[in-house]
Structure 1
Amino acid sequence: MEIATLKPSFTRKLNCRGYSPMHLALEKKHYGTARALMTLDPEVIRVRGREGYTPLHFVAGEIMEAQEELQELLAEFLSTCKSSIEDLTNQCETAVHIAVKKGNTKALEILLGWLKRVHLTKILNWKDQNGNTVLHIAVSGQQQLPTAVFRQRQLQAGQQQLPMPVSGQQQLEIIKLLVGYTNVNAKNFLNRTALDIFQKSVHFDEDVAKRLCQRSASTLSLSQFFSKELTAFEKYTYFFRIQDEATRNIILVVATLIATATYQAVLSPPGGYWQDSSLNPPNNSSVVTANSSGIAVEKPHQAGNTILSGFRLYKFVYLNSTAFFVSIASIGVAALSLWPHTHIVSFSLLIISGAYCVFLVIEFPKSDRTIGLILGEFFWILLATTLWLPFLLWPMHIRVLHRVDATRRRLSSILGSKE
């Protein structure tokens, strides 16, 4: 640890056998040293050693039911270095592939629980060099009990020491954990689904087979998906999308200021509100009089209604509402580029627009309330149509995306990284 502190680059160096200090600490069960190295530099968890194995791969493949310390170490690795889950071995296997291949039910439970909490279950559909997802491996019945993946195979009595196959019960438990979080219709490079493989397994189970018989549309390869016509949602986003980030930021700032000003204007209209109610105006008088409080009295009115009325009121409401709803629509369009992560923004815009329309109807004088209702409904329908379209089109788009059977995606695209 003193050497690691003085010369941090040494923690990433590999020895002649292809192992880093972290690999060796784990192999020799010096878990305290492994934790200390991780504390100094979390990226040592991602150092690829022999066969492309990282310390995370090693821990995922070595956990036994009774090894609570190693289980805790796996959880700490995932929490400390989130992006380590994307690292692949030379066989293009993730840590989840390793856990399933080694029959580590406990490691799979930890990995699956973490993936669900960080919303990265898509990784379960990544494929290895043979096109197998973790579900393909689980149903194949070729998993093996954990052995030291970094330790060279030893010879005992002239025979190679090989791992024992996983029991049928362990295999079924792993399959049941994965079903519901993986794409059961995904095909490997031999064009076989998980159900096709499981039907030929020695541990075939009718109940598990029923779970694998998930009804869905036929899958699409990535090339087939790119060859298809754009979905309605993609056409909508393509039409409104703002590519330049600086432009989008300017639009958001200006639109927010306009929305704030116009919303405040409808709360405090020109002339203010009547402070009292008057049902009997002076007869045959077109001149404004004043009551004992000095408040203008010209025609019947209710306390709380706007003093502004007639054509002047309509002109103010129309112009103010147009500016308000255009600014709200601009915010919704600017947020569209990050859909569906910004769906709560569109929903909030709908709520505040509804509140605006309610204010219009309430504040209009009774004689003008019909006009106010018509104006409010017109703007509300116009804006709701604009903001609701993504909500209506997204389910159809996501159904198409779920059919895409791609080999894998990098973590940056899942996490929304700029890269």
Structure 2
Amino acid sequence: MDGVSLPTSMVTGKGRNNWMEERRGSLMIVATVLATMSFQIAINPPGGVWQSTSHEEQGCKHNTTCHAGTSVLAFGDSNQTGKFEIFMLLCTISFTASLITIILLICVASLSNKLIMWFLTILMFISLVCTAGAYAICIWMILIPLGKDIRLAATIYAWFWVGFTVMVCVFFFCRLFLKKFFCFLCCR
């Protein structure tokens, strides 16, 4: 092999550690951004918050007092309230998954364990899908009165993410099972 040499990082194995540190940094950035977004949504929900305590004659639904600082959309009709609850649930799941990822990245010394990396990747996937779902519901809650085209676009967007999530899950589970199956056949 005259004139051909491998990079020093490949020979010494330092490239793998560098790659792991880059992956750790990338996961930390994504988790931090998603946690920040989810936190902002919780303290400043779509539609805003009531600025002062109101009664039904001032815009609240029947037999309700809307307290200052609570979400305007949470006090809408039952359909709107249901969408808002799902929206906040998705934001909470995204926030929690992001915080768990951040804590694990800070506390776990090594990411060379495949199980930990797999778990962190799944957490980020859950966080991203919940953020996309929250976005779709937010668009649905706010823009639906504008017309059927917006409703159709929001529905297509939501179904796209459902389909994409299912495809990714099927791909990873098939990959995992095929890997185990071929390893079982080859390594008896």
Interval of TM-score (by shorter of Structure 1 and Structure 2): 0.3 to 0.5
Alignment TM-score, normalising by the size of structure 2: 0.41
- TM-score, normalised by the number of residues in structure 1: 0.22
